[in-house]
Structure 1
């Protein structure tokens, strides 16, 4: 089994991984990611310390599902695209999406995460691995400006400082000739509640950036535009949650505290 030696921020990838694994084992999975369950079995880590319950499992899957759907749609329109999977963790989005041979796919994360990924999955000849922080320019330097580019960042940006997020988004808008940026974000309320939750607290990680209004991002750079917003807490989603969560999420601020967003670049 692969031992886990990760910094606090990197350790949060195990929250997402284990939530997907539990979802895949449920009778009616939301996402359905058997690769996550296989990875969990091969990792030497006490996942019980994260105290992940039904609400985290369903919420994580609901957050991932639109990002997968938007990725498929982008690749359907642009089979020759470049995909930057920022903060990839141990996610098998590539396996779920199944891009064609014309796609260049970059898995980007901290060196410690890429090392663990290689230990678990071995050679990944169909993907380019970049051991670098999401805020760095190592991946951007390799991206051709004349090809459509999709940037996917799940469970990443809200662990960065607000200044880092703005610098990263601005750099992407300046570098990418045409493409899209898709990611999840939390409101200030979401930052407080999720940051105090058992899973994040167990890792010692601290949430940073919060987005109050998705319409604010295009003011950072003229080449950015908001295309789509997915508020994951729909009535159908609430029915899959625990009774206390269903009651709490009836309040609009709690329904809106996690968003999945799609922006155009160019």
Structure 2
């Protein structure tokens, strides 16, 4: 890896709020990378963790619970690969990208213009950790700002990926963002995860959210919450995390049993969801 950080030198990180949660997700992927039965094999994450000076115990992530992050990432990698297999020429908007190495894991072809968008301090850190790549762009901005989207050409199919983002937005911010993307591009997909109302109300028991000092806002209880407010969208999938192939493949028997028991209550079953829409 040849990022913007001198060899052997670590960078000290001190963030709070939503940007801090990216450290937890990065650490989870790094732990998975070293596991014998690794799901993601994200050596980029492992190398990035080795170059950051941070007390990783603060994330509350361990080798035993990292699957909550990695199974989600595996799921969205799979959906993104499906889209890119059908669209050799496309624009990818990876929103709230954090320190995720998805562009390197998926290695899209030369017809894909990939944009990672996150807060300036996040992009600054990414530039120190990850190399440059042809057709790869990093945008230091809030995803809810309209300026960055206006600067992107809207002449290709678009894939919007928002993993671990929607719950940190207000409903007005999220709907406004989705509408702006649908109106700008000729066609494409929106792929994101969401919490329902119970998930938002339960945020105080979410260790990663609580320790970062973040606040969750937007509850999405089903596709109607999206298609009724974003003209032109049609739902392709809206599934419980417990029903995903990555959860069934990546979680041990004991945790699968817990998932089955939790799924008996509809509100709990749909507390965390994966959504996919086309237009």
Both structures adopt the same fold (TM-score exceeding 0.5): yes
Could you list the runs of 5+ residues in structure 2 that have no partner in the other structure?
A: 1-9
Listed one character per residue, the Cα deviations across residues 135-158 of structure 1 (whole Å, up to 9, x for unaligned) are 112332133222111111111111
Secondary structure at the aligned position of 1:15 is classed as helix
- 8 A Cα contact 1:79 1:103, kept in partner: yes
- 8 A Cα contact 2:67 2:251, kept in partner: no
| Equivalent position of 1:74 in the other structure | 83
| Equivalent position of 1:166 in the other structure | 175
Matched, 1:87 2:96: yes
| CA distance in 1: counterparts of 2:153 and 2:62, whole angstroms | 42
TM-score, normalised relative to structure 1 = 0.91
Instruction: Note closer, same or farther for the CA distance 1:146–1:261 as it changes in structure 2 (3 Å cut).
Output: same
| CA distance in 2: counterparts of 1:184 and 1:259, whole angstroms | 5
| Equivalent position of 2:4 in the other structure | none
| CA distance in 2: counterparts of 1:20 and 1:77, whole angstroms | 27
Stretches of 4+ aligned residues off by more than 6 angstroms:
none
Instruction: Note closer, same or farther for the CA distance 1:186–1:56 as it changes in structure 2 (3 Å cut).
Output: farther
Listed one character per residue, the Cα deviations across residues 57-90 of structure 1 (whole Å, up to 9, x for unaligned) are 1121121122111211111111110111111111
- 8 A Cα contact 1:185 1:260, kept in partner: yes
Stretch of structure 1 that moved more, 137-146 or 14-23: 137-146
Listed one character per residue, the Cα deviations across residues 183-240 of structure 1 (whole Å, up to 9, x for unaligned) are 1111122223344222221111111111112232111122111111232213835545
- 8 A Cα contact 1:195 1:206, kept in partner: no
TM-score, normalised relative to structure 2 = 0.87
Q: Report how far residue 241 of structure 1 moved.
A: 5.3
| CA distance in 1: counterparts of 2:89 and 2:28, whole angstroms | 32
Secondary structure at the aligned position of 2:278 is classed as strand
Stretch of structure 1 that moved more, 210-219 or 245-254: 245-254
1:249 is matched with which residue: 254, 259, 262? 262
Q: Report how far residue 245 of structure 1 moved.
A: 4.1
CA RMSD of aligned residues (A): 2.1
- 8 A Cα contact 1:21 1:33, kept in partner: yes
| CA distance in 1: counterparts of 2:199 and 2:25, whole angstroms | 17
| Equivalent position of 2:278 in the other structure | 264
Matched, 1:39 2:53: no
Q: How many residues align?
A: 265
- 8 A Cα contact 1:195 1:207, kept in partner: no
Q: Report how far residue 37 of structure 1 moved.
A: 1.1
| CA distance in 1: counterparts of 2:51 and 2:188, whole angstroms | 36
Could you list the runs of 5+ residues in structure 1 that have no partner in the other structure?
A: none
Instruction: Note closer, same or farther for the CA distance 1:23–1:194 as it changes in structure 2 (3 Å cut).
Output: farther
Secondary structure at the aligned position of 1:133 is classed as coil
